[in-house]
Chain A
Amino acid sequence: NAGVTQTPKFRILKIGQSMTLQCAQDMNHNYMYWYRQDPGMGLKLIYYSVGAGITDKGEVPNGYNVSRSTTEDFPLRLELAAPSQTSVYFCASTLLPAGGAGQPQHFGDGTRLSIL
């Protein structure tokens, strides 16, 4: 069972470059999330998706974009990288059947991104 797979694991970008962080899950989960984790700040929600074709902003969406063309994939796009986007990025997914909740999130191992 692969679970939630994130690629790449590490990346260094120059200011102004763009890149896409990939996230894929093989658990047929409806809900997917992108977080950033900064030291002492916990996890901040960037974007989330409740299903293919549906995305919504989280707490800190500025500077990022997402798409959800399939149930499995939820890529995060940085268009113009800035030093403030240096962080560890985590993708997560949740199975929320209709009428149910309280399902835990399943996390990938993260992408460590440095912007210099």
Chain B
Amino acid sequence: AQSVTQLGSHVSVSEGALVLLRCNYSSSVPPYLFWYVQYPNQGLQLLLKYTTGATLVKGINGFEAEFKKSETSFHLTKPSAHMSDAAEYFCAVYTGNQFYFGTGTSLTVIP
């Protein structure tokens, strides 16, 4: 079975500071990788995805993630946090007709 590990269930950053949310996966073959964001009382929305090609992927709202095969990682970053970035973030892996989700990281942005 696949596993997706998100280090840090809660992350706090100051407004304007770097955001770094960590994601590692276990897979014997390169999977498809996704980051989703969830705002309160809403479903998950796609931030970005990696399928093939360039390992640095840019998404919406200034977020980007880098696929590192040797480290089996897909960390999410944003250079400057905004108050509106406060939400729950989920890393997901797609393989074998199924998606596997991490347990989520709650991002708090401090003014």
- Residues of A that sit less than 8 Å from B by CB: 4, 31, 33, 35, 40-43, 45, 48, 50, 58, 90, 92, 101-102, 104-105, 107-110
Contacts and interface: CB of A to CB of B under 8 A. Distances in A.
B83 to A, nearest CB: 23
B98 A41 contact: no
B11 to A, nearest CB: 14
Nearest to B47: A104
Contact of B32 (A4, A43, A45, A101): A101
- Interface majority SS (helix, strand, loop, mixed), chain B: strand
Given A40-B103, A92-B43, A110-B43, 15 more contacts: A4-B43, A31-B97, A42-B101, A42-B102, A42-B103, A43-B90, A45-B98, A45-B99, A48-B97, A90-B43, A101-B51, A102-B51, A104-B49, A105-B44, A107-B45
Interface in B3-25: 4, 9
Most central of B44, B90, B102 by chain A CB within 10 Å: B44
B41 interface: yes
B67 to A, nearest CB: 12
Q: Which 7 pairs of residues, A with B, have the shortest CB-CB distance?
A: A107-B43, A102-B51, A42-B103, A102-B32, A43-B101, A104-B46, A42-B101
Contact of A101 (B41, B42, B90, B94): B94
B18 to A, nearest CB: 24
A17 B90 CA distance: 32
26 contacts: A31-B97, A40-B9, A40-B103, A41-B103, A42-B4, A42-B103, A43-B101, A45-B98, A50-B97, A58-B98, A90-B44, A92-B44, A92-B99, A101-B32, A101-B94, A102-B49, A104-B34, A105-B44, A105-B46, A105-B99, A107-B43, A108-B43, A109-B41, A110-B41, A110-B42, A110-B43
Nearest to B106: A40
Interface in B52-111: 52, 90, 94, 97-99, 101-104
Contacts of A4: 43
